[in-house]
Amino acid sequence: MKKFEHFKSNLRVLALAEKENLSNEFIIGGIIDKFFIQFELGWKVLKELLSYEGQSISASGSPKMILKTAFTIYDFIDEDIWLGMLKSRNDMTHIYDALAARRLVDMILKQYIPEFQKMEKGIELFYKDEIDNM
């Protein structure tokens, strides 16, 4: 599945964020941008998987509906964290100060990246024999 390959590739880059200079505003902005891309890839991967599972919501569902449906099928997704990511993604356009941006980066590093990594492993286990054929 092409989207899943993009998800994994972007995640490898995002996971390097903790090694960057987190006092640099340009780096902070780059981490936030990478998170935005990662979140978009994440919910769209889930949308494709739901389609594969025959879930009709995948045809027209919003990110929130896709996430809500995915929670009922996959045990490797933490509902609270993913809904927090959705809120963070939606609020990102309103971050104008460095302190708020830094708080978001802390969330990305401590909660969101590990959750993306958990999703990657979960998908690979759940669909171990099928993922290359999707």
> pLDDT tens for residues 121-132?
999 999 988 877
Q: Is residue 24 part of a domain?
A: no
The radius of gyration computed from the CA coordinates of the chain, to the nearest angstrom, equals: 15
The pLDDT-based confidence of 60 (bands split at 50, 70, 90) is: confident
Q: Is residue 22 part of a domain?
A: no
Q: Is residue 101 part of a domain?
A: yes
Q: Is residue 108 part of a domain?
A: yes
Domain count, the chain: 1
Q: Is residue 110 part of a domain?
A: yes
**79: alpha, beta or left? (left if phi > 0; alpha if psi -120 to 50):** alpha
What pLDDT digit, counting tens, does each position of 11-57 carry?
999 999 999 999 998 999 999 999 999 999 999 999 999 999 999 98
Q: Is residue 48 part of a domain?
A: yes
| Residue 62 contacts residue 70 (beta carbons within 8 Å) | no
This prediction has a pTM of 0.92
Q: Is residue 55 part of a domain?
A: yes
Q: Is residue 37 part of a domain?
A: yes
Q: What's the domain range around 83? A: 2-16+31-133
